[in-house]
Chains A and B, each alone.
Chain A
Amino acid sequence: ESWSLSPEEFEIWDRLYRIKESDGIKEPVLPRVQFETLEKLEETPFPLQKPEEGAARELSLSEWSVWQNQPLPTSLVDHSDRCHLFIGAMEMMELMRHQQGDCSYEQELQPHLRMEDVN
């Protein structure tokens, strides 16, 4: 079919890119995230066969979270607004993590607190 690889392309894929047993490496897969608050966002369009245990290398989105408090270099596509929000939040968490004693953020917000708004 026109959307699929031609025999020679298939041969190249198989030789250069396909992850094989002999490589001793595992197929990388993106974890299926489940949002507590939102309902099941990502209905799997097709029954993805769950990689049998140990055969897949789950890509982690949190392993390097301490690196996320700075905008990392981009190439042709700049960081989006929501990405800057994310970086800001990671930066605040980092600051809070290093605070001893009571939290300066709380003190900063305290003057704006009006209990009548809360009840």
Chain B
Amino acid sequence: QRLKAAVHYTVGCLCQEVEEDKDVQFSKQSIAAISEITFRQ
């Protein structure tokens, strides 16, 4: 679970960069979804 949190945190940071770049907002659930997909990859 700590590993999942570590991945989730980094995904959140990367999404923040895309937010600034694309001027959009990611919902909490969408960031969690990208994190889950990344973890499973």
Interface residues of A in 63-89 (CB under 8 A from B): none
Interface residues of A in 1-45 (CB under 8 A from B): 3-5, 9-10, 12-13, 16-19, 23, 25-30
SS of A interface (majority): mixed
Give the interface residue-count category, chain A: 20 to 34
Whether the pair B5, A13 counts as a contact (CB closer than 8 A) is yes
Residue of chain A at shortest CB distance from B29: A25
Whether the pair A4, B40 counts as a contact (CB closer than 8 A) is no
Whether the pair A9, B9 counts as a contact (CB closer than 8 A) is yes
- In the complex with contacts A28-B29, A59-B36, A13-B3 CB distance below 8 A: no
Residues of B within 8 A of A13 (CB): 5, 8-9, 12
Interface residues of B in 1-41 (CB under 8 A from A): 2-3, 5-6, 8-9, 11-12, 28-29, 31-33, 35-37, 40
Residues of B within 8 A of A23 (CB): 28
Choose among B12, B29, B33 the residue that contacts A16 (Cβ–Cβ < 8 A). B12
* A29 and B32 alpha carbons, distance in the complex (Å): 9
Given contacts A17-B8, A57-B29, A59-B33, 19 further A-B pairs with CB under 8 A are A3-B3, A4-B6, A5-B9, A10-B9, A13-B5, A13-B8, A13-B9, A16-B12, A16-B28, A17-B9, A17-B31, A17-B32, A17-B35, A19-B28, A19-B32, A25-B28, A27-B32, A29-B36, A59-B37
Q: Footprint of B on A, CB under 8 Å?
A: 3-5, 9-10, 12-13, 16-19, 23, 25-30, 57, 59
